[in-house]
Amino acid sequence: MTLRTATDGDWAAMAVLGAVGFGEDWDAESMAAWRTLSAPDRSLVVCDGDTVVGMSGYLDMELTVPGGAVLPAAGISYVVVAPTHRRCGVLRMMYDELHRRIADSGYPIAALTASEGGIYARFGYGPATIDQQLTIDRRFAQLHPDAPDPGGVRLVKAADSGAEFAAIYQRWRRRVPGGLARPQALWDDLLADRENTREGGTEWFAMLHADGYVLYRAHGEHPKTVRVGEFRAVTPAAHAALWRALLGLDLMGNLVIETSPDDPMPYLLTDTRLATTTGRTDALWLRMMNIPAVLKARRYSSESAELAVVMAVHDGFRGDGGRFALTISEGVADCVPTQAEAEVELGLDVLSSLYLGAHRASALAAAGRLRCRDDALVRRLDAAFVTDVGAQIGYHF
Ligand SMILES: CC(C)(COP(=O)(O)OP(=O)(O)OC[C@H]1O[C@@H](n2cnc3c(N)ncnc32)[C@H](O)[C@@H]1OP(=O)(O)O)[C@@H](O)C(=O)NCCC(=O)NCCS
């Protein structure tokens, strides 16, 4: 089998492989939109003779980290191996080359979303944001008397409101760890609202506030279920106002949303139990390519005590691990390679999971994934990595 950069002539075969791998055809215009985030040398194919049996690539992305800094990120996507060539090392072959290219291009961090949870830790990726699915039984939900009622929500036509959504999203993604810049081509793709993306639901319905918006579809028969596609609020007032409007959809039954575990939505209700957690899964996976650069880029909790720790980070895939001295003072980190004895030992996947604050060092230590003899030090790591704003993926890719 041979591996090479994909050419324009490969895309027809890649479209077939993609349709087989994911069990659905991808619209040609949509594929063209996503390809604007890539470049000719960023897509690979593996061929058996003349037949394309594997493909993968990476997108040029911008990732917000705690404190609001934005890192260039290589977003791996469109990974498929033909069912005729599974478990022969084709994915590994492509990942070796992709990560060589990502490192050579100077990306400090790589990202992906995973079709299955058991594949990517071996390549140094850890789940770094959590999608919590809430299902709200709207018919019984009562707003709490203390819930704000700021108003200001308008019903709008999604296709006509792209500029307003994009301006709010831009503010949102700059403050939320895991936020991703969304280029115009992807806005056009989202608002094209193609039939094959609706999963049996209606076209987009949209509500707009000066500091937030929601896109949703209605599914099924009476009472219909509202499935929220995107809810972005930059202020608590926008969050409360949009939820009031959604809860006012009198003929609808359940409201379903994927959100961050920190979403204050349940507290808007007199009976928080009516916002039931009906799912919890990983969303954004990260892999640090340059550990010191990435650890220095984020802010840490300034309320935590000063921290100095030597970590041994294992990278079983490439040689990006090693021993590092991390010092944090007033929320700012320094990080340098060191020969000093390690106090904490962990895999690169685990360090990547800690990065956006969605997972705690103490929980990973309890599971044996982070090893440290000093419990007080683990608690100091918890305190330092915690974030003011809950991490959430900008969009799936
Ligand atoms: C997932 C997929 C890309 C794996 O490709 P593959 O060529 O069979 O994988 P490889 O043979 O190179 O395996 C690489 C490693 O991953 C492991 N692995 C592969 N698929 C796995 C799975 N589904 N679950 C757990 N481990 C898996 C292999 O055991 C191997 O481990 P090792 O090298 O440490 O021994 C392929 O099954 C596929 O195309 N699936 C459908 C589409 C998809 O899920 N794409 C991924 C989108 S994120």
- Closest ligand 1 atom number to CA of residue 94: 12
CB-ligand 1 contact for 249 (6 Å cutoff): no
Would the pLDDT of 304 be above 80? no
CB-ligand 1 contact for 86 (6 Å cutoff): yes
- Comparing CA positions, the residue from 37, 33, 31, 30 lying closest to residue 10 is 31
Residue 87 is labelled as binding a ligand: yes
The pLDDT, as a whole number, for residue 40 is: 86
The pLDDT, as a whole number, for residue 56 is: 98
Q: Report the pLDDT averaged over residues 233-247.
A: 98
Rounded CA-CA distance 216/206 in Å is 6
Would the pLDDT of 131 be above 80? yes
Rounded CA-CA distance 52/233 in Å is 43
169 alpha carbon, distance to own chain's centre: 15
The pLDDT, as a whole number, for residue 302 is: 83
Ligand 1 centroid to residue 69 C-alpha, Å: 33
CB-ligand 1 contact for 71 (6 Å cutoff): no
CB-ligand 1 contact for 92 (6 Å cutoff): yes
Q: Give residue-wise pLDDT tens across range 255-299.
A: 999 999 999 999 999 999 999 999 999 999 999 999 999 999 999
Would you say 5 and 40 are in contact if contact means Cβ atoms under 8 Å apart?
A: yes
Rounded CA-CA distance 328/382 in Å is 13
Residue 88 is labelled as binding a ligand: yes
Q: Indicate the range of 69-73, 102-106, 227-231, 302-306 predicted with least confidence.
A: 302-306
Residue 335 is labelled as binding a ligand: no
- Comparing CA positions, the residue from 128, 153, 71, 64 lying closest to residue 281 is 128
**Residue 296: CA atoms inside 13 Å, Cβ hemisphere, count?**
11
Q: Give residue-wise pLDDT tens across range 59-97.
A: 999 999 999 999 999 999 999 999 999 999 999 999 999
Would you say 394 and 178 are in contact if contact means Cβ atoms under 8 Å apart?
A: yes
**Domains, in order of start, for the chain:** 2-107 (3.40.630.30), 131-281 (3.40.630.30), 290-385 (3.30.1050.10)
Rounded CA-CA distance 274/122 in Å is 39
The pLDDT, as a whole number, for residue 91 is: 98
Residue nearest to atom 16 of ligand 1 (CA): 119
Average pLDDT, the chain: 97
Ligand 1 centroid to residue 119 C-alpha, Å: 6
Residue 29 is labelled as binding a ligand: no
Would the pLDDT of 305 be above 80? no
The pLDDT, as a whole number, for residue 218 is: 98
The pLDDT, as a whole number, for residue 152 is: 98
DSSP state of 168: H
Would the pLDDT of 212 be above 80? yes
pLDDT-above-90 percentage for the chain: 97
Beta bridge partners of 326: 309, 335
Rounded CA-CA distance 219/228 in Å is 11
Which residues neighbour 275 within 8 Å (Cβ) at sequence distance 6 or greater? 134, 135, 136, 141, 265, 266, 269
CB-ligand 1 contact for 114 (6 Å cutoff): yes
